Amino acid sequence: MALKDVWFTPEFGEAFPDGLFLLGEITAVTEFSSDRNAPKRQRIDVDNEGNGTGKRLWKGTVTDPTALGAKNVSFDVTFVADVMPVPAAAPIARGMTPIELEGLQVKPKVAGSGEFKSIGFNVRATGIKGDTSGSRQAPADPGAARPNSTGKAA
């Protein structure tokens, strides 16, 4: 089927009309290694054929206040960015921060097993709205070799 690897790109407000809340912290997605003494390596967005963005992968667990049923209340979002996204808003409670995703992408998947299968979604984004970590904007001090706002080097 041609749609098996298609990511859909809805607007954030359409997919999550009441927003999302980040539960805890965003962490790096690491590759599995059978050698437990080997150093952890962060995964990048490249598949077995070499297709992808080549950017680092980060993961955060979020909750949707409009979700019905306990099964759909929280899920993981994979962030595809060079720098770990940082929420701009202050937490409303310990470990619960309101966020708005930028570059939202969703892909349907089959969840569950046996006779208890349902449709779930893989959710990923490029960042968080209002993020000032450097993943969505230029650094504060670009250095002398980089062009300034007029396009000329300093």
Q: What is the 3-state secondary structure (H, E, C) of the chain?
A: CCCCCCCECCCHHHHCCCCEEEEEEEEECECCCCCCCCCCCECEEECCCCCEEEEEEEEEEEECCCCCCHHHCEEEEEEECCCCCCCCCCCCECCEEEECEECCEEEEEEECCHHHCEEEEEEEECEECCCCCCCCCCCCCCCCCCECCCCCEC
Q: What is the mean pLDDT of residues 59-78?
A: 86
Confidence tier at 82 by pLDDT (50, 70, 90):
very high
Q: Is the pLDDT of residue 3 over 80?
A: no
> Is pLDDT at 23 greater than 60 in this prediction?
yes
Q: What's the average model confidence in pLDDT over 52-80?
A: 88
Domain boundaries, the chain: 20-128
Q: How does pLDDT run across 105-154, given as a tens digit for each residue? A: 999 988 888 888 888 889 999 999 998 776 554 444 444 444 455 555 54
Q: What is the share, in percent, of the chain residues with pLDDT greater than 70?
A: 84
User: Residue 124's pLDDT is what?
Assistant: 95
pLDDT in tens, 36-56: 888 889 999 888 777 888 899
